Structure 1
Amino acid sequence: MKKFTQGVLGYGIGSILLLMIISAAVLALFLRFTSMEYQTLNQAALITGLSILAFGGMMAAYKGEQKGWLSGVMTGLIFVAAMALFQIIFENQFISLPQLSYFGGLVLAAWLGGMIGVNLPRRTAKR
């Protein structure tokens, strides 16, 4: 159970937060210094977010070494719950239906990443 929790909270959520900060900075720089339109930025942010959640679910399941689907779902749900909580607290807005479908896609991406991550080959030390 310790590996599962460490995989989800440590590696899964940690890698998602780190990659989200980096990708937000890169997308902000693109928006500032190029002629990128808002619609293109939305599409890039969607693809980036789905990829990052899939990677986070994959990392959580790889480090947890068991129940990849559960590691991915837990990683996605924790991240989505944090996003929804921040929106409710700081913007005083509840979740809309389009956001709910977006959040569902993020959880689905993390779930698929978890199923892939648990099946990745492991490094073994040869003695």
Structure 2
Amino acid sequence: MKKMMQGVLAYGVGFIFLAMLFFSGVLALLLRFTAMEYQTLNQIALIAGITILAAGGLLSAYKTEQKGWLSGGLTGFIFVAMMVLFQVIFENTWISLPQLSYFGGLLIAAWLGGMIGVNLPRSSQKR
């Protein structure tokens, strides 16, 4: 259980936060220095979010080497729960129905990424 939580928190959620931070900076630069419309950037952000959550679930399951559905699901759940918590605390609003479907898509992406990640081949290190 310790290995799973380490994989989920350190590798999965940590990767997601770093990747989201980096990608939000890239989107801010695109919004500032290009003539791209907000709607286009919104669609890019949606695709990037789903991809990043799937990669985070994949990484956490790859590192835990067991129960990919659980480690990917936990990774997605922890990230989504933190997003909801931040919104409730800092914006003082509850989640809307479109946000609920977006968060559900993020959970499914992390869950599927975990199922893929646990089945990736391992590098064999024979000495």
Q: TM-score range by the shorter chain?
A: over 0.9
Percent identity, aligned pairs only, is 72
Q: Which residue of 2 aligns with 1:56?
A: 56
What's the counterpart of residue 99 of structure 1? 99
Distance in 2 (alpha carbons) for counterparts of 1:35 and 1:119: 42
Shift of 1:122: 0.6
CA distance in 2: counterparts of 1:67 and 1:88, whole angstroms: 31
- Does residue 82 (structure 1) correspond to residue 94 (structure 2)? The answer is no
Corresponding residue of 2:123: 123
SS in 2 for 1:27: helix
Corresponding residue of 1:38: 38
The separation in 1 between residues aligned to 2:66 and 2:54, in whole angstroms, is 17
SS at match of 1:121: coil
- RMSD of the TM alignment (CA)? 0.5
Aligned position for 1:67: 67
**Secondary structure class of the residue paired with 2:125:** coil
- What letter is aligned with 1:29? L
Q: Which runs of 5+ in 1 are unaligned?
A: none
Question: How far did residue 2 of structure 1 move?
Answer: 1.5
Q: Distance in 2 between matches of 1:66 and 1:54?
A: 17
CA–CA distance in 2 between the matches of 1:114 and 1:67?
8
TM-score, structure 1 as length reference:
0.99
> Which consecutive aligned stretches of 4+ in structure 1 deviate over 4 angstroms post-superposition?
none
Cα deviation code 1:27-76 (max 9, x no counterpart): 10001000010100110000000000000000000001000000111000
> What is the identity, as a one-letter code, of the residue corresponding to 1:7?
G
Amino acid at match of 1:107: L
Which residue is 2:110 aligned to? 110
Offset, 1:3: 1.2
Please say if 1:23 is aligned against 2:23.
yes
